[in-house]
Structure 1
Amino acid sequence: MIVVHHLNNSRSQRVLWLLEELGLPYEVKRYERDAKTMLAPPALLAIHPLGKSPVITDGDKTLAETGAIIAYVIETYGQGRLIPPAGTPERLRWTYWLHYAEGSAMTPLLLKLVFTALPARAPGLLKGLVKAIAARAQSGFVDPQLKLHLDYWDAELAKSAWFAGPDFTAADIMMSFPLEAGAARAGAGSRPRVKAFLERIHARPAYKAALERGGPYDYA
């Protein structure tokens, strides 16, 4: 049976959702972030050398990285579900979004998080300087990059209801976290098609079931 090493408020929520969509049995082992640093606990280092989530174990296999986990589950247990047929334009888009979600999409979102939190973590005498530097970095680089990606998501969703085409696939599961994080941190919810996408996924029974298994998730 697949065991999901699940960290609260993390990308691993997508793995639970995928397993619910496929109707697969699985076990959840929960880990809690440090309340001050928001980092994963050291216990995850015993599962994977990087000590991050998501990680799954399936028999003697241990696999990290959301995209790799989703590809493994789809190939091993999917039976053709949640993936377009090979050789189709939709399959090419599916592969693109699977990699884009953790590649291009998450970089500006992570920078937004870092530069927003940085002033509060600076020593007292340096807070003003750090705040000014962080604000300049956000206005000069991070925010324009975020706008570029948010506009891109909305434009792509104008082409079809789902990222890979007319049908819901695992690519939409992968893209859920950037869009949810973008709505929370960067106003992505103001884009009408992004907002509609989030409403559609949040209404799915499997999404709701994954929340029940995974516990509190601030982005839902």
Structure 2
Amino acid sequence: MKLYHCPQTRAFRALWLLEESGLGFDIVPVDIRDEASRADATFRSASPMGKVPALIDGDAKLWDSGAIALHLVDSYPQAGLGPVVGEPGRGTFVQWVMFTNAVFEPALMEKFTNAAVDSSRSGHGSFPQMIEIVENGLQPGPWLMGERFTAADVLVGSSCHFMKLFGAMPDSPPIAAYIERCQSRPAFAAAQAVEAQASAGDE
């Protein structure tokens, strides 16, 4: 299994997910901020959009973090990353996986750009609505699927982490506590260590 990775990007999600899985994988470093690196034919074969993360697992070439999460959950059920097809809670789990790219990120971009959004027409609603949904989803907690930590927490949790990192965090004790729980996981720390080493190598 190969993960195309660039530090301080959405590839962190896939990296954290793989660290949680306990599966063996190799990292292929890519500087997506460099045009020549993005245009590399081998990389573009794995990621037609020229973005990370991209994962190669056998014949599977995946270049969306949600697709990567679902692939790992279903292909490696022994990793316990989430409910597989037919298992109770599968629909709710998939909904949270999709929520990250479909709702969280567009709402966060709205916050960054101070864009005026008509939530009745916007596919993602609004930033305040997104925050409310996450807060409600964490009840009773501690994770989005209750007592079970899943790949959905990796995706939503990483977005919450970056929201705080980039100074867009609202006053939300439930989300703040959730971020702390995510950051306390050994796999999160392992992924951050890989990121730090990769960043140091770029200097």
RMSD: 2.7
Matched residues in 1 for 2:178 and 2:103: separation? 19
1:41 is matched with 38
1:204 is matched with 185
Shift in CA distance, 42/112, structure 1 to aligned 2, threshold 3 Å: farther
Higher RCO structure (Cα 8 Å, ≥6 apart): 1
Matched residues in 2 for 1:146 and 1:217: separation? 32
| 3-state SS in 1 of match to 2:4 | strand
Does 40-49 or 11-20 show the bigger shift? 40-49
For residue 33 of structure 1, report the CA deviation from its aligned partner: 4.1
Larger Rg: 1
2:169 is matched with 187
For residue 160 of structure 1, report the CA deviation from its aligned partner: 1.9
Letter of the structure 1 residue corresponding to residue 61 of structure 2:
T
For residue 91 of structure 1, report the CA deviation from its aligned partner: 2.5
Q: 1:28-87 CA deviation, whole Å, 9 max, x = no partner?
A: 11122438x9xx833343532211111011233311101111111111123261213634
Matched residues in 2 for 1:83 and 1:208: separation? 20
Matched residues in 1 for 2:139 and 2:55: separation? 34
Matched residues in 1 for 2:162 and 2:21: separation? 24
Question: Match for 1:147 among 106, 116, 128?
Answer: 128
**Contact 2:138–2:146, Cα closer than 8 Å, also in 1:** no
For residue 142 of structure 1, report the CA deviation from its aligned partner: 8.5
| 3-state SS in 1 of match to 2:117 | helix
1:103 is matched with 102
Shift in CA distance, 70/159, structure 1 to aligned 2, threshold 3 Å: same
**Contact 2:110–2:117, Cα closer than 8 Å, also in 1:** no
Shift in CA distance, 146/205, structure 1 to aligned 2, threshold 3 Å: same
1:20 equivalent to 2:19? Answer yes
**Contact 1:101–1:175, Cα closer than 8 Å, also in 2:** yes
**Contact 1:28–1:213, Cα closer than 8 Å, also in 2:** no
TM-score of the superposition, structure 1-length normalised?
0.75
Unpaired runs of 5+ in structure 2? Answer: 120-124
Question: Identity over aligned residues, as a percent?
Answer: 25
2:194 is matched with 213
TM-score of the superposition, structure 2-length normalised?
0.81
Shift in CA distance, 180/95, structure 1 to aligned 2, threshold 3 Å: same
Shift in CA distance, 21/103, structure 1 to aligned 2, threshold 3 Å: same
Shift in CA distance, 142/195, structure 1 to aligned 2, threshold 3 Å: farther
2:81 is matched with 82
Letter of the structure 2 residue corresponding to residue 192 of structure 1:
P
Letter of the structure 1 residue corresponding to residue 192 of structure 2:
L
Aligned length, in residue pairs = 189
